[in-house]
Amino acid sequence: MVEILKELEDRFQVTDLVQQKDHLAFVSVDKNKAIPMITWLKDQAGYTSLTLLTAVDWLEDGKFQLTYMINNPKKNSQIAARVMIDRENATMESAHHLWESIRIYQRELKEMFGIDFPGSPEVDESFILEGWVDIPPYRRDFDTKKYSDETYFPRPGRQSNDPAEYMKSKMYPNE
Amino acid sequence: MSIKDLLTPFTAWKRITKEPVTIRDPFNDRPGAERYRGFHKNDVNKCIGCGTCEDICENEAIDMVPFKDPISGDSGLRPRLDYGRCCWCALCVDVCTTNSLTLSNEYTWVTVDPEDFRYTPGVDKKAWDDNEKGWKKPEGSYEFYNINRVEMHHLHPEDRDKSFVEMVKGYSREQAIAEADRCVECGICTATCPAHMGIPEYIKAVRHEDMEEGLRILYETNPLPEICGRICTHKCETVCSIGHKGDPLSIRWLKRYIADNVSSDKYKEILNTKDLSNNHKKVAIIGSGPAGLSAAHYLALMGYQCTIFEQYEKAGGMMRYGIPEYRLPYDSIDKDIDYILSLGVDIKYNTRIGTDITLEQLNKDYNAVFAGTGLHLGRSTGIPGSDNEHVYYATDLLRQITAGEEIEVTDQIVVIGGGNVAMDITRSLARMQNQKFGKVNIITTALEREKNLPADLEEVVESREEGAIINPGWAPQSIEIENGRPVGLHVIKCNSLFDDTGRFNPQCDITKKEFFPGSMIVQSIGQGMDLSFVNEDFKKDLEFGSRGRVVTNAYFQTSVKWFFMGGDIIEGPDVIHGIANGHKAAIGIDNYIQGIDFTPAK
Amino acid sequence: MDLTKMFQFNADRSSYPELDANGKPIIDLSSHKYLKLWQGPQHPGVTGNMSLELTVNGDEIVESKTHVGYLHRGFEKLMERRKFIQCFPTCIRMCVAEPDPNEYILSACIEELSGIEVPETAQWLRTLALEMARLQVLLRGVPGQAGTFSLGLGYQWGNYIRDLILDRFEELTGGRVYHMYILPGGVRGLLPDGFKKRMEENLKLVDEFLVNINDLMYNNIVFKQRAVGLAVIPVEWIDQYGVYGPAARAAGIMRDVRKTHPYLKYSELDFEPYTTTASDVYARSLVRWHDLKMTVDLIRQIMAKMPDKGEIKAPTPNVMHWRIPKGETYVKCESSRGEYGMYMVTDGSDMPRRVNLKGPSYTHATALLERLLINANIADTAAIMVSLATCPPEIER
């Protein structure tokens, strides 16, 4: 693990190395170097298996974090590459040429986060949501509670009381 | 593939002779398991309506609905379930602070009206209310929060029993955060606190290490946090929901932690009191105890020019002259008081109303007067021998100790009384005996029996740790005098204090006698108010209620409109009532001076 | 007598479909040679609420598209707005049939990120719960493969025993389907009195079941005829398409997290996951049969080795405001379908920043199934789906 991380530093200038546990390490890599690094890991270093590709919305920083987690089944070693991309017009190079399965992840990310992967097969087809018109729902600024309140009807007659407020209203309303 | 593959599957035919495994009537023949998570039950008498179940419910299936009028320690609310949302995860049961909420093992319920599936367990009677089985958290297995208090470091008895150094060390940062973490933010405590402090909010500030926010919350309702953080009677802790199955939160120590951790030179900036407005109205305040200081503080924030008249040479009243230094160091008192005085509050020391200046004069010079004069007169037992000059009142001795005056300390002392003041004088005298004779020989006796002692438990325990003998349950009969000084106290066994109607009516057994030897006797059986600053004519205008207390309205206004009274003379006795009274009176005074009509019901 | 020849039927399909230069079928619906057929979302041959949009030519599938979204509840998103403890009743719904791995990976993520050590007894109980979950899934899953060929008898046998295992779950955890047993810090209860005895009685039934189902399915000419050689997954597809667990082991590739990354108490247990190389529906089903057998053995080992008493839960911060420092991790375990993992990102607040569940169905039911169905017979669709043990809720968490 240590050697491969060292190699990644040299070859792809990865930063923020965190060895989370024996067989799992996180690294940050520049957007332009991400796909070359993953390709290298897959073809040269035995990281042949894709565990997952997903995104984290860092709304405050205006960034999406893409996490490519790949696995070396022979060495039981897992590397997760964090790639920070701009939230505005979020676009990332597609990796569908590397794994057949990755187009599904990319399609879901397009739908749920609005991150585009130009060239990825079926990337524009809806995956889970049909006829969705709102902003991509997994973005942090999509308010599920608000959506639910507006879309569905709450059960009538429900009312709750905060214990402290209720006690105040009954025991010392004038203070 | 072979002929075998064609024939082998037919071995299934052998099962044709097997008994069927289906249950004819599963609903009636098959009760849920011992731990089954079925329909809710609630022991409504054990439940305190803290609402923690509502907070943890991720499905928002629980509403807190009124069940009865709230009382101290019980919000009167009870959880109502919406079975259209519940997922029976039982987190509500696991988090329940009183263990009142459980699940039964019942799992079938048929009704034609969907609204039936909203119900208040325990209030709306259900067939499964008496089911013994069902999910309850196994006793002592796990908790969702620490039910044990973070230990506060105290000086060991041998390190503290000779000196007046503060014995409670205060929480470290880690300890305070760990203690604050135990709070479930139910807010039950707020109603019980006489000042209705925002307790969950300032505990949250401790958790988030935001001392400035914490200080702001404290000062909203309490301008004496250093003092209260040390010696408050902490009624809040007696109703803390966590205390139902563990130790209550150390609310008092957390308050002290905030105050201790903000340096006094930052107060004005944090509390935004650098530039206070001035409305050129003047209020006179008699006494610089908690009630007077609190009133002065809140009046000053409103722009009033306050002047405090203090009979002694230092401010603080009973907080300074009644409470020993080992419990409340003088610099803590000074920190709180100096801040209030820095708001432009004027104080005249060594000025006694009635002798140095009359009340009538105050009425002329000021727009309103507030009196928080407290209870300073010691009560006498009135037993034979109690008029001897070596028989003292605890309040007098405590004041003299604070003032640095020499007091008599003999090698054998008897204290009469079971309250906190009795413990204060016991422990103060014990320290002085230790300094003078190298040993403690002091007996403290009280009418009340051990479990009914009015003093805080920790005071009794610590008194004993320091070598005093606390021997309660005795009624004093007479003080034996020989050669002009006491040699001891005769007592008889006291079996009960109150009769069936709750009236004070001690029942004693005269056959059980005891003699407590002592060359010095201290009486600490309560204090009375000293109204000597008010002249007789004025007294006629004041309305008195039962037990000789002055009648005030909810804003502590007496029957004389410009004259407000609060603190121990009206409610208590303790610091926090004084603070609450002073705050309320400040609002009343403001309304009075502005001519706003306020006719609250008491 | 060679029965194989007797039942062999191979139509000549050399002229359909026509392929373009890239080897993709040229599908022109107006040519009337092709038909769109929807299998699902409500269909007994679909494992849950998903649907397959099949383009068929005769009874042969030329193209398949997986449609999910019929039960999307956005649990990953909901968890971002829930306190860590509140995620616990939410996460289990990400795979209904086998909820315990959800509980485990969520708890393990939270524990790892906040540095909590789970007590020994709780670790054993977790291992037991996970194996019991596998047991009850496979009791339906193994005979379910025959069910897709209309042999429903074994499914009924399995379902009865599964009900008894659910009884054991009920007495251990208080729930039959949603156990909500493994919670952050530990588990919610010790074994009840007499549990091991009752469990052993149930396991004896499973032993018997294993023999009976072997006779009924794996030595059944019809089952063999249908399953052998069906939907072969070549070894090179394993990484390309993301194939995990039993499906990978049927292709001769050892993929079992219990063995490759032992978690909980698996390193103290003696077991060897079965592998074979045929990689067809029959082989995948046989791997599951061996898994079921191994699970029975594992449960016996666990019950023999585990302590009866002990701490069941490590103390945690107050769950009402449990904050976890900024960090991220991925925890995986072996579900009955293969590697089941959770990626959790925390940002120092009292709610997770992001939770991402990765179950094997995500790739099995989409990319892989779409590929495997090409040139398959319509009648084999259900069998191929079931052989991959697809679980739609874990695709559209």
- Contact assessment for residue C70 and residue C341, using Cβ atoms and an 8 Å cutoff: no
Asked whether C337 and C244 are in contact (CB, 8 A), the reply is: yes
**What DSSP element (H or E) covers B332?**
helix B330-342
DSSP string, B479-535: EEEETTEEEEEEEEEEEEEE-TTS-EEEEEEEEEEEEEE-SEEEE-S-EEE--TTS-
The answer on pLDDT for B596 being more than 60 is: yes
- Assess whether B110 and B32 both reside in one domain: yes
Q: Quickly state the pLDDT bin for B382 (edges 50, 70, 90).
A: confident
DSSP assignment, residue B571? Answer: S
Which residues are CB-neighbours of B509 under 8 A, at least 6 positions away? B492, B493, B494, B495
Host domain of residue A17: 2-153
For residues B165 and B250, membership in a common domain is answered with yes
pLDDT-wise least confident of A156-170, B79-93, B538-552: B538-552
Between CA C333 and CA C256 the distance in angstroms is 9
**Is the domain of B253 the same as that of B174?**
yes
pLDDT above 50: residue B577: yes
| Cβ partners under 8 Å of residue C22, min gap 6 | none
Residue C53 maps to a domain: no
Do B262 and B288 lie in a common domain?
Answer: no
Transcribe C41-76 into DSSP letters: SS-TTSSSS-EEEEEEETTEEEEEEEE--SS---HH
Cβ neighbours of A127 in C, within 8 Å = 68-69
Q: How many CB atoms lie within 10 A of CB B448?
A: 19
Residues of A in contact with B51 (CB under 8 A): 162-163
Residues of C in contact with B135 (CB under 8 A): 174
A·B CB contacts under 8 A: 68
Q: What is the three-class DSSP state of C193?
A: coil
Nearest alpha carbon to residue B70 among A174, A162, A159? A162
Interface test with C, best of A43, A101, A123, A132 (most C CBs within 10 A): A101
Cα–Cα distance for residue pair B582/B569, rounded to 1 Å: 12
Residue B14 in any domain: the answer is no
Q: Which residues, 6 or more positions from C73, have their beta carbon under 8 angstroms from its beta carbon? A: C93, C397
Task: Please tell me which of the candidates C68, C112, C253 has its beta carbon nearest to residue A128.
Answer: C68
The answer to whether residue C3 scores a pLDDT higher than 70 is no
B250-292 per-position pLDDT tens digit? 999 999 999 999 999 999 999 998 888 888 899 999 999 999 9
Q: For residue B53, what are the contacts with CB-CB under 8 A and spacing of at least 6?
A: B62, B79, B92, B93, B95, B96, B101
Give a yes or no: residue A171 inside a domain: no
Number of domains in chain C: 1
Q: How far apart are CA B251 and CA B40, in angstroms?
A: 32
Q: What pLDDT is recorded for position B602? A: 43
CA atoms within 13 A on the CB side of B286: 29
- pLDDT for the residue B66: 94
Residue B601: band (very low, low, confident or very high) from pLDDT cuts 50, 70, 90: very low
Give strand pairing partners of A77. A72
* Interchain contact, A101 vs C240, CB within 8 Å: yes
Residues B324 and B352 in one domain: yes
User: Does B407 share its domain with B327?
Assistant: no
Q: Which amino acid is at B554?
A: A
Edge-first strand listing for the sheet containing C352-358: C327-335, C338-346, C352-358
Instruction: Give the residue carrying structure tokens 């006291």.
Output: B494
- What CATH number does residue A22 fall under? 3.30.460.80
Kind and range of the H or E run holding B329:
none
Which residues fall within 8 angstroms of residue B279, CB to CB, at 6 or more apart?
Answer: B302, B303, B304
The pLDDT tens digits of the residues spanning C129-155 come to: 999 999 999 999 899 999 888 888 999
Q: What six digits make up the tokens of A90? A: 């979020």
Question: What would the pLDDT profile of A87-115 be if each residue is shown by its tens digit?
Answer: 989 999 999 889 988 999 999 999 999 99
Which CATH number belongs to the domain containing residue C365 in this structure? Answer: 1.10.645.10
Q: How many domains does chain A have?
A: 1
Nearest CA in chain B to C181: B89
Q: Are residues B315 and B392 in the same domain?
A: no
* Shared domain check, B481 and B394: yes
How high is the pLDDT of residue C33?
A: 80
The domain in which residue C304 lies consists of 75-395
**Does residue B13 sit within a domain?**
no
Sheet containing strand C51-57, strands side by side: C35-39, C51-57, C60-67
Evaluate if residue B521 carries a pLDDT over 50.
yes
Convert B462-489 into a string of H (helix), E (strand) and C (coil): HHHHCCCEECCCEEEEEEEEECCEEEEE
Nearest to A50 among C78, C242, C341 (CB): C242
pLDDT in tens, B455-506: 888 889 989 988 888 988 888 888 888 888 888 899 888 888 887 777 778 8
CA of B276 to nearest chain C CA: how many angstroms apart? 38
Question: Residue C7's pLDDT band (boundaries 50, 70, 90)?
Answer: low
Same domain (yes/no): B388, B508: yes
Rounded mean pLDDT of chain B?
Answer: 89
Suggest the residue from C64, C366, C370, C395 to mutate for an interface test with chain A (most A CBs closer than 10 A): C366
SS3 A71: strand
pLDDT of residue B18: 85
Give the strand order in the sheet containing A49-58: A15-21, A24-28, A77-86, A63-72, A49-58
CATH number for B56:
3.30.70.3270
Contacts of B149 (CB under 8 A, 6+ apart): B179, B182, B246, B247, B248, B249, B250
Q: Give percent of chain C above pLDDT 70.
A: 95
pLDDT band at B426 (very low <50, low <70, confident <90, very high): very high
The Cα C308–Cα C330 span in angstroms is 31
Q: What is the mean pLDDT of residues B496-517?
A: 82
Cβ–Cβ below 8 Å for A167 and B75: yes
3-state helix, strand, coil in chain A (%, to 5): 30, 25, 45
Secondary structure class of C329 (helix, strand, coil): strand
CA atoms within 13 A on the CB side of C341: 26
Is residue C40 a part of any domain in this protein?
A: no
Q: How confident is the model at residue B221 (pLDDT cuts 50, 70, 90)?
A: very high
> What does the alpha-carbon distance between residue B118 and residue B366 come to, in Å, rounded to a whole number?
60
User: pLDDT above 70 covers what percent of chain A?
Assistant: 100
Question: What does the pLDDT read at residue B183?
Answer: 93
Any idea what DSSP says for residue A155? P
pLDDT range class, residue C166, cuts 50, 70, 90: very high
Write the pLDDT tens digit of every residue in A60-88.
999 999 999 999 988 889 999 999 999 98
The torsion angles phi and psi of B542, rounded to 5 degrees, stand at -80, 140
Residues of A in Cβ contact (< 8 Å) with C78? 144
> Are B567 and B582 a contacting pair, CB within 8 Å?
yes
Residue in B with minimal Cα distance to C350: B208
- Same-domain status, B482 and B588: no
* Position C14 confidence tier, pLDDT thresholds 50, 70, 90: low
Give, as one character, the DSSP assignment of residue C82. S
Mean pLDDT of C48-55: 86
Identify whether residues B394 and B503 lie together within a single domain: yes
On the question of pLDDT at A151 being above 90, the answer is no
The C-alpha atoms of residue B514 and residue C59 are separated, in whole angstroms, by: 108
Q: Which of B321, C56, B522, A98 is nearest to A106 (CA)?
A: A98
Long-range contact pairs involving A84-88 (C-beta distance under 8 Å, separation at least 24)? A84/A28, A84/A31, A84/A58, A85/A31, A85/A115, A86/A62, A87/A57, A87/A59, A87/A62, A87/A63, A88/A62
Question: Domain containing B200: what range?
Answer: 157-270
Does some domain include residue A168? no
Between helices B420-437 and B457-465, what is the axis angle to 10°? 10
Give the C-alpha separation, B99 to B137, whole Å. Answer: 8
- Residue C56 tokens, joined: 């068929």
Q: What residues of chain C, 149 to 188, have a C-beta less than 8 Å from chain B?
A: 153, 157, 160, 167, 170-175, 178, 180, 185-186, 188
Check: CB of residue A162 under 8 Å from CB of residue B64: yes
Q: C173 near C298, Cβ under 8 Å?
A: no
A163 is a domain residue:
no
Please count the structural domains in chain B: 4
Q: What are phi and psi of B368, to 5 degrees?
A: -160, 160
Q: Can you read off the two tokens belonging to residue B428?
A: 């103060």
Long-range contacts of B199-206 (CB under 8 A, 24+ apart): B199/B236, B199/B251, B200/A164, B202/B254, B202/B255, B202/B258, B203/B249, B203/B251, B203/B254, B204/B180, B204/C321, B205/B258, B206/B176, B206/B177, B206/B179, B206/B180, B206/B254, B206/B257, B206/B258
DSSP state of C25: B
Give yes or no for residue C12 having a pLDDT over 80.
no
Average pLDDT rounded to a whole number, residues C219-234: 89
* CA–CA distance, B118 with A98 (Å, rounded to integer): 54
Q: Is B138 on the interface with C (CB under 8 A)?
A: yes
B278: helix, strand or coil: coil
Q: For the segment B33-51, what is each residue's pLDDT rounded down to a tens digit?
A: 999 999 999 999 999 999 9
Q: Same domain for B389 and B521?
A: yes
Predicted local distance difference test score (pLDDT) of residue C346: 93
Please check the confidence at residue C1 and state whether its pLDDT lies above 60: no
Task: Evaluate whether B492 touches B450 at the Cβ level (below 8 Å).
Answer: no
In a domain, A131, yes or no: yes
**Phi-psi bin for B6: left (phi > 0), alpha (psi -120 to 50), beta?**
alpha
Which contiguous run of DSSP H or E holds residue B187? Answer: none
Q: Has residue A162 got a pLDDT over 50?
A: yes
Region C165-193 average pLDDT: 91
Cα B236 to Cα B189: distance, rounded to the nearest angstrom: 5
B339: Cβ contacts below 8 Å, ≥ 6 apart: B223, B264, B267, B268
**Is C353 at the interface with chain A, CB within 8 A?**
yes
Within-domain flag for C129: yes
* Average pLDDT score over chain A: 90
pLDDT at B1: 64
Q: What is the pLDDT of residue C15?
A: 63
pLDDT bin (cut points 50, 70, 90) of residue B334 is very high
* Structure tokens given for B171: 């929480």
For residue B432, pLDDT beyond 60: yes
